Amino acid sequence: MTTTISDLPTLQLRLAEAELALHKLLTGKQKVQVMYALGGNHSVTYQQTQAGDLRAYISELRATIASVTGIGERRPIHWS
């Protein structure tokens, strides 16, 4: 499935949900559920031991948003 600019609101919503889920997971909630996939109602439940998987999903969403918008992911500026 090709992702287009019309998918951007859904991608941004999924990213916000995933970031909130990671926050909850890392601050003590044992399990969190995240919806994923455009055009479908799919979900996955993460446990604390799977925080790395959730971080990978967040990175994937950020990369997809960057490719759709043409704007790269922002990174901190490091001064020497």
What b/e readout covers 16-35, taking b as 16+ CB neighbours within 10 angstroms? ebbbebbeebeeeeeebebe
| Structural domain count, the chain | 1
Task: Tell me which DSSP letter residue 37 carries.
Answer: S
Q: Does residue 41 sit within a domain?
A: yes
For 10, the token pair is 């859904």
User: Residue 12's domain spans which residues?
Assistant: 5-68
This prediction's pTM: 0.66
Say how many residues make up the chain.
Answer: 80
79 falls within a domain = no
**pLDDT tens track for 24-67:** 888 877 677 777 766 566 777 777 768 888 899 999 999 999 98
Q: How far apart are CA 19 and CA 36, in angstroms?
A: 13
Q: What CATH number should be reported for the domain holding residue 52?
A: 3.30.1580.10
The answer to whether the Cα torsion of 38, 30, 16, 51 is positive or negative is negative
